[in-house]
Amino acid sequence: MFHHILVPLDFTPKNAAALRAAQEAAEAWNARVTLVHVIERIEHIPPRALRAFYDTLTASARVRMARAAQRLSRAGRPARQVILFGKRGPSLLRYVVLNKVDLVVLASHRVRPDGSRHVWATLSYQLAVLAPCPVLLVK
């Protein structure tokens, strides 16, 4: 059913649940997995002015992504690792479309029944509503 699974990573502990779910889905459908981390640029400052800063963030992201990929690899699911620069939501949505992703698996927080307003600005909500493919929110 699914051929290409995308897992956005922010390197928080909640990513572990999303990685497990993506691994299970990939095994069930023999799908490939892509891990993506988005480094947000600081607005109004040219990237070249902060090159060392972005280089440090990129190096750190590569190490952390390699650890996440290693978990999948041990289970027989090698994962592609991608680092993007830009705003998280739009960057991930663009990647989904351009790379024919047909399932996004990501961690989400629990929604409080009191209708807290911060829910609507979360990445998980943005992807769940705007992605052109199914989105699995793991809690």
pLDDT digits (tens, 9 = 90+) for 43-81: 898 888 999 999 999 999 999 999 999 988 887 888 999
> Maximum CA pair distance of the chain?
46
Nearest Cα neighbor of 88 from 33, 4, 5, 9 is: 9
pLDDT digits (tens, 9 = 90+) for 72-97: 888 788 899 999 999 999 999 999 99
Has residue 110 got a pLDDT over 80? Answer: no
Number of residues that make up the chain: 139
What is the torsional sign of CA 11, 15, 20, 23?
negative
Has residue 120 got a pLDDT over 70? Answer: no
- Going from N- to C-terminal start, the domains of the chain cover 4-138
Quick one: fold of 4-138? Rossmann fold (3.40.50)
pTM of the predicted model as reported, rounded to 2 decimal places? 0.90
